[in-house]
Amino acid sequence: MLRARRLEEVLIAVPKQAHDRLVARLVNESFFHVEEPLKDIPGSSSPRFKTALVQASEKLSKIQFYYSVLRLQPVIMEGVEVRVSDWIHSFNEYVELYKDLDRFFDVRTSRLTEIEASLAELKRLKELLEPVKHVAVDIRVLAETARLQYALGIAPRDIESYVEELTSKYNLVSAVEDVDEKTVLVAIAGRPEVMRLAVSSLVKRGLTLIVIPRSLPGEPSEAYKIVVENLGKLDEEASRIKSELLERIDSLHGYYTYMYAFREVFRVLANTMETGTTAFLRGYVDVDDFNKLISILEDETGGAYIVYRLGVRRGEVRIPTKVSLPWFLQPFHRIVQMYGDPDPEEVVPTVFLAITFPLAFGLMFPDAGHGLLLVLFAQLYLKRRSPDWAFILTVIGSMSIITGFLAGELFGPKVSELLHLPAIWSYLGFHAPPLALPAYAVEHGVLELVSELLYRAITISLWMAAFMLSLGTLLGVVNSYLKGEVEELIAVKIPKFLFFTSVTLPFLVLFDARKAGSTIGLALLDLGGGDPLATLVLIGIIVSLTWLLLGEPLIQVIHGHVPLAGLARSLMEVYEVILMAMGNVPSFLRIMALALAHSSLMLAFAFIFDLLSGLGFLGLAFGILVYILGNLFVAGLEGILAFAHTLRLHFYEWFSKFYVGGGIPFQPIAIPGARIVLLRHSS
């Protein structure tokens, strides 16, 4: 779970007449990772299987496009038997069987793609025409008149003074009309020779011209009606096409399953070397699966086989990595793979990330109500489209529910008060919830708690920094040991671990930002000041930096080289480790910053609600609406920001300490849930 599985490279030789049976069995059993044959093996691979592999892959890509248009994930059907007499002949038979279905989906998904593009353009045009839908004058004629040109557009509100300036400068006629709080409608007319200059200047200032396409009337009112009518027609057509496609989705699942199966088979056949009598196959198996491979070879060849064990050879460029994780950790491996697959000889960080990622996200996004919205979004919308990401969002949303309860936040302060969440913590003997933020103190009128809650948030953020940076550099030590990089381990990794542990130790031990800061201050400015912990920190920093500075030159001496040859690298390592500490530790304060932003935004919407609710029944109703919309806005915006910053903390601040991620995944030939059934064996 913490390390990749040990894979053994094998070279298999079997009689050609047994090769088809072996291929079918290997695909059905799903444990063999096929690789290109060694160049020094006599014989050649069949070009027809390479062509068939390309054809099957193209079919799969096309079917995956159909799924993507419908916003669905491809499905391999359970219990399907792929009946084969001759590999390529049977493949062509299945292609022919689904030819009409392919054409059915091809025509409709192409049309659906066209409709979606048209809808996007029409919606954009509708938004542009919205402010002028009442205008019943042909603005295209006005704009194209030889002696007078006319332009109409939408612009930011701050453009109004600039329009007046241009009007006076070029002797134009202009009008500016409010559209909403941020935008205005600008109309401007004048002689053609000056209009080009004026319009160009306005476009640079943010003016978006309203240009009605030739296919529509020049009158905005008529054009708007036609656009709205066309939007309705296209929406209706799109819904009808989607319904038609979904009615045959089960058939598409079957088509995908068969094409996937043949793609896996052709992956093996295209990488098989053949002589007149023998077929050679090369690949990787889990060490624990080697006996299973032998058993299959005995069954399918009657003992007429040769297996050459090339052994467990680490450090090769193309060796795959097999990661074995329990089901509840596998979705989080998707996040690790966004950075890169692990190398065979490095620690798999998924176990740690599955803990730190939800924790960091929950601390940035502490609201039980918004966490619940995230869970509902994952389960009701995302689960069908991407089960792994739905699981991840469910976990991090659940963490937000926990941290939100600990922060006394549930859909902001108003709903929290309504459900007596602060009273629960008071009843439990807390003057404020354990993870409460300064906004909580402001809302409840206990301003004396503001500084205390702020320092608590800073403490939590810096404790996370201390934990993750110390763990990251420790894992860097472990990785160097696993890879056998003894010199790197001694000269760089161990002193880096000692340095980061020394710098962050006060935050880990004291769990108090002020005391930890004072301890580091004593260590650096007062040579420890007689404080045991500060003295320990000082010793650790001095020893680690000295170690880093001397490590590489000493290794050069051991190898018989001039020590100065390694001094440049040592100086860079010292500079880098100090720079990383100065940058990485404060970077974790983004946990506090995101949490403060979240709670402050909700406090602002609570204040707006209070102001509106004092204006009578209509004010109360409008205040409730604003508060609900505010919750949705904050949940969406802050959720995205918290996820992005959590990714950054892990990829940049943490992974950079130990993780390379340059491996390739172990991909055994497999068709989950389906089986190859040979009716007879091709020669």
Looking at this protein, which amino acid is placed at residue 534? A
Question: Is the confidence at residue 680, as pLDDT, over 70?
Answer: no
Strand partners, 3: 347
pLDDT score at 219: 83
Strand partners, 190: 149
Q: Do 507 and 462 contact (CB within 8 A), yes or no?
A: yes
Report which DSSP code applies to 5. B
Q: Concatenate the DSSP letters of all residues of 509-532 into one string.
A: HH--HHHHHHHHHHHHHSTTTT-H
SS (H, E, C) 255-315: HHHHHHHHHHHHHHHCCCEECCCEEEEEEEEEHHHHHHHHHHHHHHHCCCCEEEEEECCCC
- How far apart, in whole angstroms, are the C-alpha atoms of residue 655 and residue 8? 28
Q: Do 462 and 513 contact (CB within 8 A), yes or no?
A: yes
The H-or-E segment that residue 318 falls in is none
Kindly provide the residue ranges of all beta strands, DSSP E only, lying in 108-225, ordered along the sequence: 149-156, 173-178, 183-190, 208-209
Question: Is the confidence at residue 142, as pLDDT, over 60?
Answer: no
How many Cβ atoms from other residues are within 10 Å of residue 579's Cβ? 10
HSE of 428, CA atoms in CB hemisphere, 13 A: 12
Sign of CA pseudo-dihedral 560, 562, 563, 566: negative
pLDDT score at 378: 94
Q: Do 609 and 670 contact (CB within 8 A), yes or no?
A: no
pLDDT score at 146: 57
Q: Do 216 and 133 contact (CB within 8 A), yes or no?
A: no
Check residues 180 and 646 and name the one with the higher pLDDT: 646
Which tokens sit at 211?
A: 């240009």
Question: Is the confidence at residue 45, as pLDDT, over 70?
Answer: no
Question: Is the confidence at residue 272, as pLDDT, over 50?
Answer: yes
pLDDT score at 317: 52
- How far apart, in whole angstroms, are the C-alpha atoms of residue 37 and residue 513? 59
Tell me if residue 81 falls in helix, strand or coil.
strand
pLDDT class for 353, splitting at 50, 70, 90?
very high
- How far apart, in whole angstroms, are the C-alpha atoms of residue 682 and residue 627? 70
pLDDT score at 332: 95
Closest CA to 3 of 320, 316, 464, 344: 344
Which tokens sit at 286?
A: 């889990």
Report which DSSP code applies to 131. G
Work out the average pLDDT over 18-39: 88
| pTM for this prediction | 0.76
From residue 227, alpha-carbon distances to 66, 119, 124, 127, 208 in Å are 28, 10, 10, 10, 19
Closest CA to 473 of 683, 328, 348, 653: 653
Q: Do 349 and 480 contact (CB within 8 A), yes or no?
A: no
pLDDT score at 565: 67
pLDDT class for 40, splitting at 50, 70, 90?
low
Q: Do 260 and 671 contact (CB within 8 A), yes or no?
A: yes
- Ranked by mean pLDDT, which of 40-44, 594-598, 613-617 comes out on top? 594-598
Looking at this protein, which amino acid is placed at residue 664? I
Strand partners, 149: 190
- How far apart, in whole angstroms, are the C-alpha atoms of residue 479 and residue 473? 10
Q: Which long-range contacts (CB under 8 A, 24 or more apart) does 372-379 make?
A: 372/397, 372/401, 373/397, 373/632, 373/635, 374/400, 374/635, 374/639, 375/401
The H-or-E segment that residue 444 falls in is none
Question: Is the confidence at residue 682, as pLDDT, over 50?
Answer: no
pLDDT tens per residue, range 77-111: 988 899 998 899 999 999 999 999 999 999 999 99
Q: What is the largest CA-CA distance in the chain?
A: 97
User: Among the residues of 530-589, which ranges form H helices?
Assistant: 532-558, 564-587
Q: Do 271 and 41 contact (CB within 8 A), yes or no?
A: no
Helix axes 290-301, 16-29, angle to 10 degrees: 140
SS (H, E, C) 592-631: HHHHHHHHHHHHHHHHHHHHHHCCHHHHHHHHHHHHHHHH
> Each residue of 536-546: b (16+ CB within 10 Å) or e?
bbbebbeebbe
Report which DSSP code applies to 25. H
pLDDT score at 140: 65
Which tokens sit at 223?
A: 């054009």
Helix, strand, coil percentages in the chain from 3-state DSSP, rounded to 5 = 65, 10, 25
Q: Do 346 and 352 contact (CB within 8 A), yes or no?
A: no
Question: Is the confidence at residue 42, as pLDDT, over 70?
Answer: no
pLDDT class for 411, splitting at 50, 70, 90?
very high
pLDDT tens per residue, range 51-70: 999 999 999 999 999 999 99
Check residues 616 and 361 and name the one with the higher pLDDT: 361
pLDDT class for 404, splitting at 50, 70, 90?
very high
From residue 111, alpha-carbon distances to 250, 467, 595, 632, 667 in Å are 21, 54, 45, 34, 35
pLDDT score at 43: 61
- How far apart, in whole angstroms, are the C-alpha atoms of residue 212 and residue 225? 13
Which tokens sit at 548?
A: 């880093």
pLDDT score at 214: 80
Closest CA to 248 of 36, 367, 102: 102
From residue 247, alpha-carbon distances to 94, 241, 252 in Å are 21, 10, 10
Question: Is the confidence at residue 249, as pLDDT, over 90?
Answer: yes
Phi, psi of 565 (to 5 degrees): -60, -30
Q: Concatenate the DSSP letters of all residues of 493-507 into one string.
A: IHHHHHHHHHHHHHH
pLDDT tens per residue, range 172-221: 888 888 877 788 888 888 888 788 888 888 888 888 888 878 888 888 88
Work out the average pLDDT over 333-359: 93
Q: What is the mean pLDDT of the chain?
A: 88
